Amino acid sequence: MALAAVSAGLILPASADSVAATATCGRNEIRLYEQPLAYEVVRDGKAVVPKTPCAVMLDGRCQKDAKLVKAVKARGGSAPVATPVYKKASVDVSAEYAIADFGDFAVRLAARADGVAWRFELKKGAVINGEDASLTVPAGARCWFNRTGDWGAEETVPEFADAAKLPRDGRMFYLPFAYSVDGVTVAVTESDLHDYPAWYLKDARDVEGGVRLVPAMERYPKATFRESNDSDWSNRRKVEKGGRWVRVSEHEGFLVKAEGARTLPWRVFILADSPSKLCEADIVYALATPAKADADFSWVKPGKVAWDWWNCFDNQGDKGCNTKTYERFIDFAAKSGVEYVIFDEGWSAALDIWKFHPDVDVPHLIDYAEKKGVGIILWMAWAQVYGDEEKVAEHFAKLGAKGFKVDFMDRSDAEIAVFLEKFAEACAKNRMLIDYHGAYRPVGLNRTYPNIVNYEGIHGLEQMKWAPKDKDMTFNDVACFFLRLTAGPMDYTPGAMLNHRIGEYSAGEGQKFPGSVGTRCHQMAMMALYEAYLQMLCDSPTNYEKNEECFKFMAATPVVWDETVGLPGCPETMAAVARKAKDGSWYASGLTNRESRDFELKTDFLGGGEWSAEIFRDAPESDAEPMKYVHETKSVKAGDSLRLHLASGGGFAIRFTK
């Protein structure tokens, strides 16, 4: 029986010989066509990604018209596999595969219950000049997305638009890109990226059946230079060594040179019945390269971090960057059960990790923390470690540091991808954690190296350090749950205790007293809502001690989970989730944008029995006084509903225990 092509919602017959291969799992199917190459994503018999060109250019020759040699089907993966650091205790990594052989290369298709994917596989070395990984968004789709004008810079506020009105101003769309059409939600992202540029989309144009976005990928760097700055960020200058950035001054005419057989990244399409179920998908993790069979990552210890930079060294400004203040942070972490303290920018001499700040006794502080059961994580700009990955990891591991926060990569080419993997491997050898700040979104590398415990790639709470008075972060906070978080953990840095009404926020003297907009419970909800295996607690020890009731709850919220269940919501209204902790308790949390709303929390996820619910929710006066909240305990029977009112910019956080 001939397969069907779908265009503009109409199922039309297609000749069987135009279909090179298909992979199907339950309701999901991906089809590959030949001469010219094209793919199509189908759910329940309807195309949710209409037939779209795909191709790879090898040694200057576009392979779009290659003829099929043979196609085979296979089942891959084992189910389930334990996940040492993840949102679930285990993941079914199996998939139905189809491999279409075109001689010098192949196209592999994958289908799973949570989505589908395709990728190119090269059989021999070649110069990869380009790849056509276009996306056709169906007509009538409602789209949710982020855009950027710079490679690797992924910290913008989300946007919404119907497909026909997607922006056409030349800025790039970065992934995940999500949309809903005919009752199906699609999130487009990638997985298993190694030695290859990140995938962007641009140039929306009308085509039959929808709007097409074409790929944009940063070409390989031909020439680079190091750039630094002093206390005045506008004063940037080239430097011979070190610095803050390694900039590209000239690109090659290719993406990367393949020295031998290799794979390209998976082009992933998460498929769900509603936006709220995107958080349950595992396809990015499942399709990523697993850690080496003989690798031991049992030492990886996820946890919370007491952070210095956002709160200006406990609200003291630069004068607080000293040994005494860091002892204060360490004492606070030890007393409150927070696993780590980070030394952000300032612990070393200006952008020189080989020289300590004269007022910060780093060896003493690492030893001081070790004796109190607290680990120290060190910040550095990536230009400080680039080219010295092994040396840096070994040196600071011997000093006793537990990991690094690496910042300011701000690129998306293949060279930066190699660095991310190379440094992760060097740190793994020395049992050190990594938080990749100033980097693009996760692409599955944290499965290969579970010591990568967080990524930035998010318009996070740091933006409130310099925000204009009318800034509304609550809009961003809701949407990023369905967009950025779909790719993997994110370093949003939540937990502000100075909470303000939208439009009435001011960072205060010299940004010394930063806060948030929205309610206290909005911030508390983020602890379970946002995945971050290394979760930064942004506020100061002083502010947390003044708000001990809320802080204790946040500090006790886990960062890794046994189960994750999406609760009703969408990018334009609110976000909510339920997660099961390893001790058997459940956490449910949710937050809304500037619109207040009522939410019915159905507790079917609890399974059965009687539970005690510890609840933090918005108070009746929270609209006017965002720091107000209600803390209460109720008995709940599994399956009962809790009715919650969320104030403007509000939220809730609940722990269920037997």
Catalytically annotated residues: 407, 462
d(Cα 507, Cα 315) in Å, to the nearest integer? 11
Sign of CA dihedral 235, 241, 246, 252: positive
Phi/psi for 312 (5° steps) reads 55, 55
The distance of Cα 287 from the centroid of its chain, to the nearest Å, equals 16
Which two three-digit tokens encode residue 436? Answer: 């990749």
320, 312 in Cβ contact below 8 A? yes
Owner of token pair 């930063």: 514
Residue 117 region by backbone torsions, left for phi larger than 0, else alpha for psi between -120 and 50, else beta:
beta
Q: Which two tokens stand for residue 344?
A: 């952000």
Quote the CA–CA distance of 217 and 11 in Å, as a whole number: 33
Q: Are 380 and 409 in contact (CB under 8 A)?
A: no
Omega prior to 494 cis, within 30 of 0: no
**Under a CB-based contact definition with an 8 Å cutoff, are residues 414 and 389 in contact?**
no
Name the nearest CA neighbour of 459 among 423, 419, 490.
490
Least Cα distance to 126 among 156, 104, 144 occurs for 104
Q: Is the peptide bond before 80 cis (omega within 30 degrees of 0)?
A: yes
Pairing relationship of beta strands 126-133 and 266-272 according to DSSP bridges: unpaired
To the nearest 10 degrees (0 to 180), the angle between helices 362-371 and 323-336 is 20
